[in-house]
Structure 1
């Protein structure tokens, strides 16, 4: 006989599988074993087996199923397990709360680069995009080692919540209709996918909302940079809206709505509240990495969200 608790758990698992099914299979790479999924993503083995029974996409090999890492990340978020992905968003929410309370005007960002091959190759060199070091908030830069960059930032104090215009409120309503879903690279620019499914990560949500802002007649543009979470900063994208005086201010309605829904931010973080000093804007395209690696062959490494480096915040 099923209990209410068991029925609720089954319903959540079914919702995970149903949402995963909206992502086309051609965007999946099945390479994560059940053992790694349990160990790294903190998904219990019994839970994974239930997800497989319910239809979570996977491939079969002799020693067990293989999963797509994006499916696993989304499952871990939906089921609220203590996964690395959940910890990342908890840290980002903490960065927002900190600036909302009493913002520290200065931060130091330390970039520790590494060879993508993980074994330092002969002739490695690392190039931090000039847009990073020339950003207005940077007041000092240092390079004590070939693979280490340091930047002192002076941040803008967190802004008070701004009352949105009617047109901006319609844009925020549009953001609230989206559901957060980590997407593989092939879908992060697919406006047709978000219109059809309502699923988006921060990258696709920003692109969609900029497009919708144009349709609604709302001045809006995309912004990219770092969320200054600790200990590791995270590459992030958000919106900038224009006020009545023509000034641009940062807004992140989709991500704030998501964090409130997950219980990581309180109701004092409405969609129109500005993230203020939690974000550091850098004048780069959404797909341009902060740092590139050049090896002995002088070939640039494949672009990543940040590049082959860890970004630490002090």
Structure 2
């Protein structure tokens, strides 16, 4: 390892980053991404990449032909807080959450959704249809299709935050120590894997908490929609509890991740506090991991979402 890498990252930190991804069995890796992708997308430059290889980063091939698993690069970059566009977007989401909670005002975001053809083989022109929640939970009258497949909307995100009671906090504690992780396709819905490794996406702990809430007699529902903050907006799953006739979102794994990454104050944002100002509920009980926000001839349309 170079002297620069030794100074920038303690060897133990790099080893921890690699050991963490090694919890994922190698059979779930596809090894399709090269060093240029690591640098350009995940801010893992040549020197750092070589240091990670010294610590056992999985790969195939040698020299310029080396290939890596995309989720390994993603998760290592986030673990090391590297300045990738993804991590910068996470930082803005955490800042937005904190800002909205402090102001106590409903937050509005201007969103643009650009849908692509779901299946180039379908007959006729594309027929793009947004999910009903896109209009129902936005500023009235703001949803518009400016051109085929291009929608603009003003998202209304609640500002209220709430520290949950003992029963709900005890429920949320079941996954509070799990680490938010981008899972490869082979384990993307595998609760057993997440229980064993404490690595989880947003879907698996949501399903677990809902099942356990039902067993404990706690009224809860599956919330799905968007995690919103400029410039990037992503699909997200979370659990919601009914309190005094309103549904209040909870996301202990996300809050723990924000704290672990140094993006929020853990004293101010414990795992048992509700999230506000960044989650926008569009669907309830979605069956799919990657649920549709816009459909084309009934199929899920690929979507790019930007927020302002």
TM-score band (shorter)? Answer: 0.7 to 0.9
The change in CA–CA distance for 1:62 and 1:107 in structure 2 (over 3 A counts) is: closer
Q: Is the 8 A contact 1:13 1:51 kept in 2?
A: yes
The change in CA–CA distance for 1:231 and 1:36 in structure 2 (over 3 A counts) is: closer
Aligned positions, number:
298
Q: Is the 8 A contact 2:133 2:281 kept in 1?
A: no
Asked whether 1:68 is paired with 2:76, we answer no
1:144 to 146, 155, 160: 146
Name whichever of 259-268 and 277-286 sits farther off: 277-286
Q: Deviations over 1:64-110 (max 9, x none)?
A: 31001100000101111111221221122122123213335443322
Question: What corresponds to 1:40 in structure 2?
Answer: 41
Question: What corresponds to 1:273 in structure 2?
Answer: 273
The change in CA–CA distance for 1:213 and 1:188 in structure 2 (over 3 A counts) is: farther
Deviation for aligned residue 1:14 = 1.0
Asked whether 1:308 is paired with 2:307, we answer no
Give 3-state SS (helix, strand or coil) of 1:59's partner.
coil
Deviation for aligned residue 1:36 = 2.1
The change in CA–CA distance for 1:108 and 1:166 in structure 2 (over 3 A counts) is: same
Q: Is the 8 A contact 2:226 2:234 kept in 1?
A: yes
Unpaired segments ≥5 residues, structure 1: none
Q: Is the 8 A contact 1:139 1:154 kept in 2?
A: no
Deviation for aligned residue 1:132 = 3.2
Q: Is the 8 A contact 2:112 2:305 kept in 1?
A: yes
Give 3-state SS (helix, strand or coil) of 1:194's partner.
helix
Question: What corresponds to 2:109 in structure 1?
Answer: 107
Name whichever of 169-178 and 74-83 sits farther off: 169-178
Q: Is the 8 A contact 1:189 1:207 kept in 2?
A: no
Asked whether 1:213 is paired with 2:210, we answer no
The change in CA–CA distance for 1:150 and 1:74 in structure 2 (over 3 A counts) is: same
* Structure 2 CA distance for aligned equivalents of residues 86 and 261 of structure 1: 13
With normalisation by structure 2, the TM-score equals: 0.85
Unpaired segments ≥5 residues, structure 2: none
CA RMSD of aligned residues (A): 2.8
Give 3-state SS (helix, strand or coil) of 1:128's partner.
strand
Q: Is the 8 A contact 2:31 2:60 kept in 1?
A: yes
The change in CA–CA distance for 1:216 and 1:37 in structure 2 (over 3 A counts) is: same
With normalisation by structure 1, the TM-score equals: 0.83
* Structure 1 CA distance for aligned equivalents of residues 58 and 125 of structure 2: 39
* Structure 1 CA distance for aligned equivalents of residues 38 and 91 of structure 2: 20
Deviation for aligned residue 1:215 = 4.6
Deviation for aligned residue 1:174 = 1.8
Q: Is the 8 A contact 1:31 1:66 kept in 2?
A: yes
Question: What corresponds to 1:26 in structure 2?
Answer: 27
Large movers: runs of 4+ above 6 Å: none
The change in CA–CA distance for 1:107 and 1:41 in structure 2 (over 3 A counts) is: closer
Deviation for aligned residue 1:113 = 2.2
Asked whether 1:289 is paired with 2:292, we answer yes
Equivalent residues in 2 for 1:1-314, closer than 5 Å: 6=6, 9-60=10-61, 63-102=64-103, 103-115=105-117, 124-140=125-141, 141-156=143-158, 158-162=159-163, 164-243=164-243, 245=244, 247-266=246-265, 267-284=267-284, 285=286, 286-287=288-289, 288-293=291-296, 300=299, 303=300, 307-314=301-308
Q: Deviations over 1:123-177 (max 9, x none)?
A: 5525233323342444112112112112234443x11423x22221212322222
Q: Is the 8 A contact 1:41 1:76 kept in 2?
A: yes
* Structure 2 CA distance for aligned equivalents of residues 34 and 154 of structure 1: 40
